[in-house]
């Protein structure tokens, strides 16, 4: 490798660009997608979700929101997994999908069928039921907070939002949409827009 003379470099010197390549999505065209149970590192469900989404899949993390006592007689909002260290991933039954999901950040293993070496899968009807339970329990919690005027997602609150994968940006909450997502206002435009809907588990309150 040729030696580079850096003796004349000063702050602001242009030295080139680093090209970041986005991974190719997992091939799914024409293939049946079955729901698999993926085991994650403890407390790293959100990290695993972000990593698998970069592979072109659409994982589902069943989780709820709760308040827990914090310091100075305050309480703070936390995310609680319905199935700790477990997320659900619709994916084709191919070696490529298995290897790439297993190699994603935050992923430990796949759940296997009891007494078998086959990957455990869930039918769509079970996924639909889990979504109903999650929505019902979270709706009860949000309703309780609203009655007490303690909803954490109030307009104008500063948050760190993960709009781009694995990159947090400072934003302000605008409102909630009909899908339970939080609309946030970014400081700068991203792809020509400043208001983005973000799932609650991808937000972190600035004062925490």
What is the SS3 string spanning 130-180? HHHHHHHHHHHHHHHHHHCCCCCCCCCCEEEEEEECCEEEEEEEEEECCCC
198's enclosing H/E stretch is strand 193-198
- Residue 134's pLDDT is 86
Is the per-residue pLDDT at 13 higher than 70?
no
Could you tell me which residues are beta bridge partners of residue 196? 184
- Residue 180's pLDDT is 77
CA terminus-to-terminus distance, the chain: 47
List the structure tokens of 5.
Answer: 């003379």
- Residue 112's pLDDT is 92
What's the whole-number mean pLDDT along residues 120-136? Answer: 91
Closest CA to 43 of 59, 63, 57: 63
- Residue 94's pLDDT is 93
Is the per-residue pLDDT at 51 higher than 80?
yes
The per-residue pLDDT of the chain, averaged, comes to 83
| Distance from C-alpha of 17 to C-alpha of 170, rounded to nearest angstrom | 25
Top mean pLDDT of 118-127, 135-144, 175-184 is at: 118-127
Q: Could you tell me the pLDDT band of residue 153, with boundaries at 50, 70 and 90?
A: confident
| Distance from C-alpha of 38 to C-alpha of 110, rounded to nearest angstrom | 5
SS3 call for 89: strand
Structure-model confidence comparison of residues 97 and 189, the more confident one: 97
Spell out the long-range contacts of 126-133 with Cβ–Cβ below 8 A and sequence spacing 24 or more. 126/35, 127/35, 127/60, 127/88, 130/62, 130/82, 130/88, 131/60, 131/62, 133/62, 133/82
Is the per-residue pLDDT at 50 higher than 70?
yes
Is the per-residue pLDDT at 72 higher than 60?
no
- Residue 142's pLDDT is 67
Structure-model confidence comparison of residues 33 and 180, the more confident one: 33
SS3 call for 45: helix
Range in 17-31, 37-51, 143-157 the model is least confident about = 143-157
- Residue 147's pLDDT is 56
SS3 call for 51: helix
| Distance from C-alpha of 186 to C-alpha of 205, rounded to nearest angstrom | 14
- Residue 157's pLDDT is 87
Is the per-residue pLDDT at 201 higher than 70?
yes
> What pTM did the predictor assign?
0.59
């Amino acid at each position: 490798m040729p030696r580079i003379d850096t003796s004349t470099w000063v702050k602001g010197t242009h030295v080139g660009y680093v090209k970041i390549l986005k991974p190719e999505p997992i091939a799914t065209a024409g293939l049946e997608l079955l729901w698999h149970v993926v085991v994650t590192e403890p407390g790293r469900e959100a990290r695993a979700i972000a990593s698998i989404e970069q592979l072109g899949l659409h994982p589902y993390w069943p989780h709820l929101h709760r308040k827990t006592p914090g310091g100075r007689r305050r309480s703070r909002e936390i995310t609680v997994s319905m199935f700790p260290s477990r997320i659900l991933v619709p994916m084709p039954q191919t070696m490529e999908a298995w290897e790439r999901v297993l190699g994603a950040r935050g992923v430990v293993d796949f759940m296997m069928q009891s007494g078998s070496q086959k990957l455990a899968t869930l039918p769509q009807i079970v996924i639909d039921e889990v979504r109903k339970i999650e929505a019902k329990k979270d709706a009860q919690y949000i309703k309780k907070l609203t009655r007490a005027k303690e909803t954490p997602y109030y307009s104008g609150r500063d948050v760190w939002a993960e709009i781009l994968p694995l990159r947090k940006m400072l934003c302000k909450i605008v409102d909630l949409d009909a899908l339970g997502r939080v609309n946030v206002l970014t400081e700068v435009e991203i792809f020509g827009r400043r208001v983005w809907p973000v799932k609650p588990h991808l937000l972190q309150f600035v004062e925490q």
